[in-house]
A and B are shown apart, each in its own frame.
Chain A
Amino acid sequence: METNIVITQIEQLSGLGHGNNVAMEIAMETYRRQMKGDFNVNKFDLNLISTCMITGPPQTTLTLQDGLIVELGDTQLQTVYHIKQQQHHQILLVNGDVKPTFRHTGHKQSLSISTIHHISNVEHNTTWLDDVIQVLQDFKISILVVKGVVDECLHDYCLANQILVVENVKYHALQVLAVATQTNIVTYLADAIQDDVGTVMSVECWESGWQPRIGVKTNELIKTAYVKLITETPLQTVIISGPSTVTVAMMENEFMNCAHRLQDVVNTGKALPGGGVPELKALQCIKRMKGVQDVQLDECLSTQSPHQSAVLEEMEHVYENYLCTVNMNMGCTNDKMKVLHSIHQCIDTLQPCIVPDSDLEGGQVQVYDCCRAKMEAWRHAWCLVQLTLLSDMQIITGIERSEVKQALFTDGIMGFL
Chain B
Amino acid sequence: MRMADNPGITVAPSQQSTVSIQTLNDPEFLHILQLFKDIIASCYGPRGRIKVIQNSSGGNVTMSSLSSVLLDSLSISNPILELVKSGVQSHLSRFNDGGLFVALLVSTLVEKCVQLEVPRTVCIGVNTNMLRLALDYLESDKCDCKVKINFSDSKEMMNLVTGIIGSKPACCLLPREKDIISSLVLQAFLTSLSSGSKDSDQAIIGIIQYIKIEGRPVTDSHLMSGVLFEVPHLPTYKCCVSELRRCNAGPNQGLVKVAVYNISLSGDSDEFVEVQYQSVSDMSSSDMVVHKITNVVEDLVKQGIGMLACQKVIHPSIKKYCRQHNVLVLDRLSLTHIKAVQQVTGARLLSTLHTSISETDFGYLSNVSHKVIFGKSFLHMESLTSNVITMVICNRTEQSVQELKRVCENADVILRHSLVNPVALFGSGITESSLVNHLRKQMSALVSPVSQELHCKESQFIAVANAFIECLQTIATLASPMTQNTDDMELEEDCQLRLDTPLDCYTMKINALKVSIEISNVVLQINNFIHDKN
Contact = CB atoms under 8 A, between A and B. Distances in A.
A178 interface: yes
B51 A391 contact: yes
B49 A391 contact: yes
A109 B272 CA distance: 12
Nearest to B176: A299
Interface string B228-246: 0000000101100000000
A395 interface: yes
Given A191-B317, A394-B52, A399-B56, A417 B77 contact: yes
Interface string B45-70: 00001111111110000010000000
B162 to A, nearest CB: 14
Contacts of A195: 323
Interface in A70-84: none
Interface string B19-57: 000000000000110011001001000000111111111
A412 interface: no
Contact of B320 (A121, A125, A178, A191): A191
A18 B264 CA distance: 52
B397 interface: yes
Interface stretch (A161-169, A314-322, A352-360, A382-390): A382-390
Interface stretch (A30-38, A180-188, A204-212): A180-188
A80 B73 CA distance: 59
Interface stretch (A112-120, A136-144, A234-242): A112-120
A109 B32 contact: no
A375 to B, nearest CB: 11
Interface stretch (A100-108, A277-285, A286-294): A100-108
Interface string B258-276: 0000001011111010001
A26 interface: no
A110 interface: yes
A111 B277 contact: yes
A115 B278 contact: yes
B217 interface: yes
Contacts of A110: 268-270, 272, 285
B51 A179 contact: no
Interface string A53-68: 0000000000000000
Interface string B97-139: 0000000000000000000000000000000000000000000
Interface string B164-177: 00000110101110
Interface in B284-334: 284-286, 313, 316-317, 319-320, 323-324
23 contacts: A106-B313, A109-B285, A110-B272, A116-B280, A121-B281, A188-B320, A190-B317, A299-B175, A379-B396, A383-B397, A386-B172, A387-B170, A390-B50, A390-B169, A391-B52, A392-B51, A396-B55, A397-B55, A398-B75, A417-B32, A417-B35, A417-B75, A417-B78
Interface of A: 47, 104, 106-118, 121, 125, 178-179, 182, 184, 186-188, 190-193, 195, 299-300, 376, 379-380, 383-384, 386-387, 390-399, 403, 413, 415-417
Given A186-B316, A392-B50, A398-B75, 20 more contacts: A107-B268, A109-B268, A111-B268, A113-B279, A114-B278, A115-B278, A116-B278, A121-B280, A184-B235, A192-B320, A383-B172, A383-B397, A390-B50, A391-B51, A393-B39, A393-B51, A394-B54, A397-B54, A399-B56, A413-B35
Q: Kindly list the 9 A-B residue pairs having the minimum CB-CB distance in the complex, ordered from nearest.
A: A110-B268, A191-B320, A111-B285, A392-B49, A415-B35, A383-B396, A391-B50, A397-B75, A398-B56
